[in-house]
Chains A and B, each alone.
Chain A
Amino acid sequence: MAGSITTNNLSASFGDIRAVEGISIEIPANKVTALIGPSGCGKSTFLRCLNRMHELVPGAHASGEVIWDGKNIYAPEMDATAVRRGIGMVFQKPNPFPLMSVADNVSAGLRLAGVRKNKAAMEEIIERSLRMAALWDEVKNKLGKPGGSLSGGQQQRLCIARALAVEPDVILMDEPCSALDPASTQKIEDTIEELKSDYTIVIVTHNMQQAARVSDFTGFLLTRESGEPGRLVEHGTTSKIFTMPDRKETENYITGRFG
């Protein structure tokens, strides 16, 4: 099914250091899956394995399978740039291209993919992407302004719009709200809610309430002892993980967070 991702025994390392090990998880299409776990347990590393961003870090290596749309993205014949186009990413820190205009930021991925469209068609895609990211009304009069001139929350939604414009199957979000104020966070959560009918979303978050609010499924990662790689302790529907988790560690983490 388009947009679903299944990992089989996925492990990732930085040089000799194992960061995550043996992760097998199913990420269903058109749902929001949240990844939670204490700092340093490998959530970002795992997420970055899903679109082959991990291997761009010097010395980094991943093994195991990531099946996207029936194909293993780590198979030798797969083109990493094509994978990244189909599985978009939004980072923790908003990273629009600061000197590029708002409109050009949104269309950057299309232009990189060599998509040639006339001006009207391009403008339509730009508007649609910005609307989906709940940013259109705020920037429609400053499409020519540089991306760096927006507020932090707007920049993050611009990044979401930029990721959406190339029409990926999956969107990976690594703590997309951690640098934002509550109002911007609210907007992005609303955006995620809207997007999920068309996209598969994986979101890493430290905010338990956020995970509970936006996600359908939740996976809990943990490093059992320091120096050990992070592993997937448990995953299931969000309501189950948050109300009656199977594992004691999961319960401790969640209740500990709630206090």
Chain B
Amino acid sequence: MMSLVAQLRGKLAVKAKPARGKLGDPVFSGLVFLAAFSIIILMALMVYKLAQVAMPSIREFGLGFISSSEWDPVKEVFGAEPFIYGTIVSSLLALIMAVPLSLGIAIFLSQFAPRWLQSPLGFVVELLAAIPSVVYGLWGIFVLAPFLGRTVEPFLSDHLGFIPIFAGPVYGVGLFAASVVLAIMILPTISAISRESMRNAPREQKEAAQALGATPWETVRIAVLPLARPGIIGAVILGLGRALGETMAVTMLIGNRPEISASIFAPAYSIASVIANEFAEVTAGLHMAALVELALILLVITLLLNLLARLLVQKTGSRALRKGGR
């Protein structure tokens, strides 16, 4: 009996000491949990609501919605293929252009730029990310698209026209112009984040390479890039996410024609653009449902690509850790 009391008292004493922390702890962790959980609820609710509104279209067209390319609000026939195509291709083209350039910028800023140049140049790059997309769109339509249509596109189609993607008439405005603007828009995201991960490359690693007689570029290749890889992949994912969802600039430049052409100079359409262009004039239920289903598809594409990329990062990241750890 005595011992039980003593035990209890001991327990209480132990418990009583960090009382403040103990009381604050559950409250805090509860709040944090709630915050995190509310995101999931919100997400689920959104998907549910969207699916509900889209239901008529899902019922009417089924899986054919994805593979049909006819989009006619008057006849009430809706197919998403050209939009899916335009969204994915413009984003991938943007990535193809932006990734090498961004990595070049990141490598220069983190490894080679003299100190006095690093912050101003980095600041300018980050500033690019802050420009509203309507400004990009406006610049794109009045400056970039005419320029591309006058110089780059004719050049490519003259010299590489035998490849179908560069063949055909050039308009200026089209899939290519939209991709170029997208590339410029995601450039700061990708370069800023990969610069950060390259900057964290340990000095010891660089010195190891340098002491073996590595040139500056070789040093980057063997001592900086391998460890920065997960960060670079993360940067590319973020850039891709931004490209997939970008609406304003793409709408202004892509040509807004729901067609799939072999040529990248031809006009096209993207999911975000068609939603932005048509939601205001929606009258009939089915049209509305089809637009919302498009939104759902964009959500799914984004989620899938994010998931895929995350898996990729986790794999390389954990492998790097496993290998790097003692």
Binding site for B on A (CB under 8 A): 51, 53, 56, 58, 81-82, 84-85, 88-89, 91, 93, 95-100, 108-109, 112-113, 146-152, 155, 159, 162-163, 166
Contact = CB atoms under 8 A, between A and B. Distances in A.
A163 B209 CA distance: 10
Contacts of B207: 53, 56, 89, 91, 95
B212 A109 contact: yes
A84 B210 contact: yes
**Interface size bracket, B side:** 20 to 34
A80 to B, nearest CB: 9
B125 interface: no
Contacts of A159: 208
Interface string B202-242: 10110111111111001000110011000000000000000
Contacts of B323: 98-99, 146-149
Contact of A99 (B214, B218, B226): B226
A95 B213 contact: no
Contacts of A96: 208
Given A58-B115, A84-B210, A97 B326 contact: no
B222 A81 contact: no
Contacts of A97: 205, 208-209, 222-223, 226
Contacts of B213: 81-82, 84-85, 109, 112-113, 166
Interface of B: 115, 202, 204-205, 207-215, 218, 222-223, 226-227, 319-320, 322-326
B205 A151 contact: no
Nearest to A58: B115
A163 B324 CA distance: 20
A95 B214 contact: no
A81 B324 contact: no
Given A91-B204, A95-B205, A99-B226, A81 B215 contact: yes
A94 to B, nearest CB: 9
A99 B208 contact: no
A182 B319 CA distance: 31
Contacts of A152: 326
Contacts of A109: 212-213
Question: Which one of B210, B211, B215 has the greatest number of beta carbons of chain A within 10 Å?
Answer: B211
A100 B225 CA distance: 12
A85 B202 CA distance: 21
A53 B210 contact: yes
B200 to A, nearest CB: 14
20 contacts: A56-B210, A84-B212, A91-B204, A95-B208, A97-B226, A98-B320, A98-B323, A99-B226, A99-B227, A99-B319, A100-B226, A108-B209, A112-B218, A146-B323, A148-B324, A148-B326, A149-B326, A151-B326, A162-B208, A166-B212
